[in-house]
Every structure is written in structure tokens, then in C-alpha cells.
Copies of this chain bind each other. A is one copy, B any other.
């Protein structure tokens, strides 16, 4: 059985949980408290030298890191990953955009606000990060004005990757009111079959 090393509040972990649910795949979930250093133990670093969740451990013992690579592994060959090379590359374009231009400016402010003390010096990072977060939302808005989804004109791993932290952007003090196409897309994603909430734990 697949084992997902995870942290329930993580949007990156949620990406994997959401696709596992939509694929009807059974798995074992192992919570690792990132705030308590549980991804920096020698045991964990032996599985992922980069010390991060989510990490997917296969039956073979092989461990796969990086949330978007896990989405690819789980989804390839299913309708959640486009099979045509251009649509596949466009899905990847948006997944790399998510990790480089979105996650540090939407997920990281949420982390600073939700998980660090109110007097954390890291709060000084918020104005710059949130400005870049709004710039990322602007890029998404431009695309979604003329497309229902991010790649191949259907729901895919690219939507899962971008939904994870966008749908909790309010927890990062990012207001989605100026981004109506993004808000409509969030509703389309949430209405997909077998959608689950970020807080959902499989039994």
C-alpha cells in the first residue's frame, strides 16, 4: 500500500490527498509535525534528503518527493494528466509557475501568519510576499478569463496544484474579490467528483 508522509494543514500535502481521493486509491497517511522538526530526523532525511513533506513511499520502498511530482506519478495514464505532449507541457508550465511564482508568495505568508508567533521577525516579509502573491493571482486571472481550466481545457493536476493554496488565500490575507475568474474557477474545482476538503483525513 502507498504511504503518504504528510502534514494535515499543508496545501502541498493536500494536493496528494485530493488526487488520491479522486483516483479512489487507498493509502496509509503518516503525519509528520513540521513544526516539531519531524521532517529533519535522520530517519526522515534517509527517505527524503530535502527534509520535506509530502513524500510518497511506494511498496518497493522507493520514496518520491515534491508535491507536483507526486501528482504526476499518481495521475499519469489517468484523465488527470493530459496525454498529448503540448497539453502535458502546459500542465507542467502551470505546476512550475505554482512552485516558483505562487507558492512562496501565497503559501509562505499563510504559514507565517498561521504557524509562527505574532511577534515573529518573519512578519516583515509579508508586504513584499503578498505583492508578489497578488501578481501571481493576476497571471491566473488573465488565463482564466478565457479558459475554464489550466491545461487541455479540462480539470487536471495543474488545477489541483494551483487550487491547494489559492483556495485558502484568505488565510494569507489575500483578498480574492479583485479576481472573479479565479473565484469562479475555484468553484469549478470544488464541484469536481470526489472533491475533499484540505482538513479531510481518510479513515
Q: Does A124 contact B (CB under 8 A)?
A: no
Q: Is the beta-carbon distance between B89 and A50 smaller than 8 angstroms?
A: no
- A70-B89, A76-B89 given; name 10 further pairs at CB < 8 Å: A49-B138, A49-B143, A50-B97, A58-B86, A66-B92, A68-B96, A69-B90, A69-B95, A76-B85, A96-B96
Q: Does A103 contact B (CB under 8 A)?
A: yes
List residues of chain B with CB within 8 A of the CB of A199. none
Of the A-B pairs whose beta carbons lie under 8 Å apart in the complex, a sample of 29, sorted by A's number, is: A49-B138, A49-B139, A49-B142, A49-B143, A58-B86, A62-B86, A64-B86, A65-B93, A65-B97, A66-B92, A66-B93, A66-B97, A66-B100, A68-B96, A69-B93, A69-B95, A72-B88, A72-B92, A73-B85, A73-B86, A73-B89, A76-B85, A76-B88, A76-B89, A96-B96, A99-B99, A100-B100, A100-B103, A104-B104
Count, chain A residues at interface, CB 8 A: 34
A139 near B50 with CB under 8 A, answer yes
Interface SS majority for chain A: helix
- CB-nearest residue of chain B to A96: B66
Report which A residues bind B (CB closer than 8 A). Answer: 49-50, 58, 62, 64-70, 72-73, 76-77, 85-86, 88-90, 92-93, 95-97, 99-101, 103-104, 138-139, 142-143
